[in-house]
């Protein structure tokens, strides 16, 4: 390969300053993702001539160049066919995933901001950032891959870091954002480098006097059990799951345990769960992305629903819709509010709505009442001064 990995990435970023992802795979030109859409990288002289398809040799050279000096990543790639790690390229950080497909290497790079972005920059509403004020309990940040879970979680941790003199321990795979030492004591631990497995890392963390604990992702029953134990012990615990809404999240948790333990696990969840934030990044009118969020917070109704096993989507959606004064909102309320603010097109609203029929009916009512305040929409809580002041 004629130029270094760092030089290559610098050229891509210079040509595509707003790209979120870079993908190198055999048989295709270098791909960049902008606003959740892939396109050919428009820069020459990198690892191919112009926009020519990548060869096995060039992909292999780039992958091995990235893994040079990273023994844990190289061992995982050699043994399991895939690895994850993060690294810096000048002032820019990337999260890398390298894996084999059809016998050839494929490299996926997610660009990370040099520092944790602000809630204002992300258009992340106060209904989410208020969760940083919690002192105990389990907070789950959920959503599909690529929908900003890690970034929203980083905003919450940085807010605590800036405002509270506590010990924060993070267990990550890999470390994405590097937090400066502010009021809090920050201890960031990376899988494979600082601890061998999440269950082991969690057990160790409980002996390291944290007040706040962040688990990058709950992957198995053992890790989940220790996470619940930490929340029950009075810690504020943040974790992520690849689920799309509150109902699916709680059902996923229950599904990790044997059916004979369901009643006991529901009791533990009802006691320890503080909030579930489900996030979707939506295409913003005029370009860019904006998060739509569903927020569930612990309340008497929520605890009763969990204890009684009423975990259907419709049950939670009704509670969320009716509980705006308690800091909750449904995904449909969120996308309708963003549309009312002029941030989402109707097409984007329908793409991200949970109950498309109900949302369409609300939009029809809105059109029929054109000229009136959007806060009059039936069933919606669109109080700018309370729930959505971040906008």
For the segment 222-247, the average pLDDT, to the nearest whole number, is 94
Q: Given a cut of 60, is residue 210 above it in pLDDT? A: yes
| Contact residues for 285 (Cβ-Cβ < 8 A; gap 6+) | 342, 343, 344, 345, 348
> Could you give the percent of the chain with pLDDT greater than 90?
73
For the segment 322-334, the average pLDDT, to the nearest whole number, is 93
Query: How many whole angstroms separate alpha carbon 40 and alpha carbon 349?
Result: 28
pLDDT of 389: 36
User: What's the chain's average pLDDT?
Assistant: 89
Residue corresponding to tokens 């494979």:
192
Residue corresponding to tokens 């007040």:
211
Rg, Å, the chain Cα set: 22
For the segment 192-206, the average pLDDT, to the nearest whole number, is 92
For the segment 221-248, the average pLDDT, to the nearest whole number, is 94
Q: Are 296 and 328 in contact, with CB atoms under 8 Å apart?
A: yes
pLDDT of 377: 39
Q: pLDDT digits over 295-321, tens only?
A: 999 999 999 999 998 877 678 888 999
Q: How confident is the model at residue 338 (pLDDT cuts 50, 70, 90)?
A: very high
Q: pLDDT digits over 250-285, tens only?
A: 999 999 999 999 999 999 999 999 999 999 999 999
Q: Given a cut of 60, is residue 2 above it in pLDDT? A: no
pLDDT of 387: 42
Q: Are 136 and 125 in contact, with CB atoms under 8 Å apart?
A: no
User: What residue spans define the domains of the chain?
Assistant: 5-112, 119-279+300-322
The class of domain 5-112 in CATH terms is: alpha beta
pLDDT of 366: 84
Token pair of 111, please?
Answer: 């660009």
Q: pLDDT digits over 55-93, tens only?
A: 999 999 999 999 999 988 999 999 999 999 999 888 889
Query: How many whole angstroms separate alpha carbon 367 and alpha carbon 340?
Result: 11
For the segment 164-188, the average pLDDT, to the nearest whole number, is 96
In terms of CATH architecture, what is 119-279+300-322?
A: 3-Layer(aba) Sandwich (3.40)
For the segment 2-25, the average pLDDT, to the nearest whole number, is 88
pLDDT of 42: 78
Q: What pTM was computed for the model? A: 0.84
């Amino acid at each position: 390969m004629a130029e270094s990995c760092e030089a290559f990435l610098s050229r891509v970023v210079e040509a595509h300053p707003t790209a979120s992802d870079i993908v190198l795979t055999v048989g295709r030109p270098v791909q960049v993702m902008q606003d959740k859409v892939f396109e050919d990288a428009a820069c020459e002289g990198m690892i191919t001539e112009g926009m020519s398809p990548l060869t096995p040799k060039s992909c292999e050279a780039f992958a091995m160049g990235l893994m040079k000096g990273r023994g844990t990543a190289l061992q995982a790639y050699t043994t399991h066919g895939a690895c994850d790690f993060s690294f810096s390229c000048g002032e820019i950080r990337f999260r890398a995933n390298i894996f084999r497909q059809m016998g050839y290497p494929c490299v996926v790079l997610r660009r990370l901001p040099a520092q944790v972005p602000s809630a204002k920059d992300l258009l992340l509403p106060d209904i989410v950032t208020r969760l940083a004020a919690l002192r105990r309990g389990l907070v789950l940040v959920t959503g599909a891959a690529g929908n900003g879970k890690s970034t929203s979680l980083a905003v919450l941790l940085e807010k605590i870091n800036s405002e509270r003199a506590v010990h924060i321990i993070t267990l990550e795979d890999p470390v994405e954002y590097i937090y400066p030492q502010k009021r809090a004591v920050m201890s960031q631990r990376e899988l494979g480098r600082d601890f061998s497995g999440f269950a082991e890392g969690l057990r160790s963390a409980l002996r390291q006097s944290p007040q706040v604990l962040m688990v990058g992702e709950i992957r198995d029953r053992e890790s989940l059990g220790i996470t619940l134990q930490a929340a029950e012990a009075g810690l504020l615990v943040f974790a992520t799951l690849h689920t799309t809404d509150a109902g699916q999240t709680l059902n996923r948790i229950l599904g990790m345990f044997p059916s004979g333990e369901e009643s006991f696990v529901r009791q533990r969840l009802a006691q320890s769960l503080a909030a579930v934030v489900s996030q979707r990044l939506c295409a913003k009118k005029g370009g860019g992305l904006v998060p739509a969020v569903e927020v569930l917070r612990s309340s008497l109704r929520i605890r009763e629903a969990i204890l009684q096993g009423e975990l259907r989507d419709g049950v939670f959606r009704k509670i969320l819709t009716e509980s705006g004064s308690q800091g909750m909102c449904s995904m449909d309320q969120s996308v309708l509010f963003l549309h009312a603010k002029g941030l989402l097109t109707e097409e984007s609203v329908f793409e991200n709505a949970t109950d498309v029929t109900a949302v369409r009916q609300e939009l029809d009512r809105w059109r029929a009442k054109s000229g009136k305040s959007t806060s009059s929409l039936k069933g919606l809580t669109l109080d700018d001064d309370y729930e959505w002041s971040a906008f």
